[in-house]
Each structure stands twice: as C-alpha cells, then as structure tokens.
C-alpha cells in the first residue's frame, strides 16, 4: 500500500462502500475481522449518522493504535485485492439515476431508473420541473458515475434551455483561461458565472 495516511473517516466510508468486496477478507483468520464486521454494518450512503472512531473503539474494546493499524490494514488488503486483478466479486445489481438541476437559487432533484443513460447534450422534457424553473426544456450538462458496493449511481446534471455546443466550448475556453491566471481568479470566474456571492 502507498504510504499516504488517510483519515479514518475516509477509510471507514471507503470500506463500507465496498462491503461485497470486503466479504473476501472475512473468515480467513485476519486479526481485524471484528472491526471489518463493524464497518460493514455502516450505511455506505452516509444517510445515517456514522459512529465515531471512539465509539467503535469502545464497542470493540481495543486501543486507538490497534484501531488505526487494523483500519489501515483492511484498506491495504482491499487495495491489494483490486490491484492483483483478482475477481473481487463485485456485481452491479442495481443502477440508479440521480437527476438534478440547479439554476441560481432554484433546485430540483429526482431519483429514478431510466432505460438507458442519456449522453451529454441530450434533450430532456420534464413537465414536473416547470413549476420550479418556469421551463420544461433541459439538456444534459454532465454525467458522472459512482460505484457504491453493488449499486451504480449515475448522476445526471441538467441545465435549462437547449444545448449549444459553441457556447459550451466558449465557456470551457474561458474557464481554462481563468484557471491559467491562478486559482483565485478561477474561483472568482466560477462565482460570477453561476451567480454565487
């Protein structure tokens, strides 16, 4: 494993989101098995309040240095499983499409399952977004994918109106030029473009 020390909250989240893969680490006599079982109980989405490291340490009756050693070892073993090309046993059982649109102070969000994932630039007509945005015509601005154990979450970010490739190209060019001038200038450009204050 690389020598970067990740915060334990990051490691807990990563391990809990890979519970189907971490199944391979159970029952093989690893000293950290009881910690792994405890972490596998956590909600990978983070919707429920996650117990603190102290609470887990107290529940398991171990010392903080042992906890830190074990959580790093679990992470290292998971990374090794994935790096070695072993079949980690990851099977996507469900695909969720999270569709969101955010324009200035207006926001709307739905979770659904679509027959196929739309491409960037695709048009959408969503009638029930009309009361929020005053418009039912949208286009796909960005699509991102996230694997969460056996669920693939496809986040689809919409913008109102129609997709204009020339305008998107110009915006990308402006953002790149702002970034070349420095992060502070780029952040100012982002705030101005999106109407942040």
pLDDT digits (tens, 9 = 90+) for 35-47: 888 888 876 665 5
Q: Which residues of the chain form beta strands (DSSP E)? A: 94-103, 106-112, 123-125, 137-148, 151-160
> In the chain, what are the domain boundaries?
8-83, 94-163, 168-197
| Closest-CA residue to 38 (of 51, 24, 47, 49) | 51
Name, of 11-15, 52-56, 88-92, 160-164, the range with top average pLDDT.
52-56
Give the tens place of pLDDT for each residue, 174-190. Answer: 888 888 888 888 888 88
The verdict on pTM exceeding 0.75 is: no
Q: pLDDT at position 12, please?
A: 82
Distance CA(148)–CA(159), nearest Å, equals: 26
Spatial CB neighbours of 101, under 8 Å, sequence gap ≥ 6: 107, 108, 109, 129, 132, 133, 138, 157, 158, 159, 160
């Amino acid at each position: 494993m690389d020598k970067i020390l990740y915060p334990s909250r990051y490691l807990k989240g990563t391990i809990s989101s890979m519970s189907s893969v971490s199944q391979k680490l159970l029952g093989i006599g690893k000293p950290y098995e009881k910690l792994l079982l405890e972490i596998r109980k956590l909600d990978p989405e983070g919707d429920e309040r996650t117990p603190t490291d102290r609470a887990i340490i107290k529940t398991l009756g171990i010392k903080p240095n042992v906890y830190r050693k074990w959580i790093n070892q679990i992470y290292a073993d998971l990374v090794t499983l994935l790096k070695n090309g072993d079949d980690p046993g990851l099977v996507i059982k469900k695909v969720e499409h999270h569709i969101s649109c955010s324009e200035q102070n207006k926001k709307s969000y739905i979770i659904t399952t679509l027959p196929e994932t739309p491409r960037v630039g695709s048009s959408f007509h969503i009638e029930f977004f009309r009361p929020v945005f005053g418009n039912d015509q949208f286009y796909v601005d960005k699509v991102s994918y996230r694997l969460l154990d056996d669920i693939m979450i496809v986040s689809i970010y919409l913008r109102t109106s129609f997709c204009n490739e020339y305008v998107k190209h110009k915006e990308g060019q402006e953002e790149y030029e702002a970034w070349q001038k420095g992060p502070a200038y780029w952040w100012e450009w982002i705030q101005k473009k999106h109407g942040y204050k």
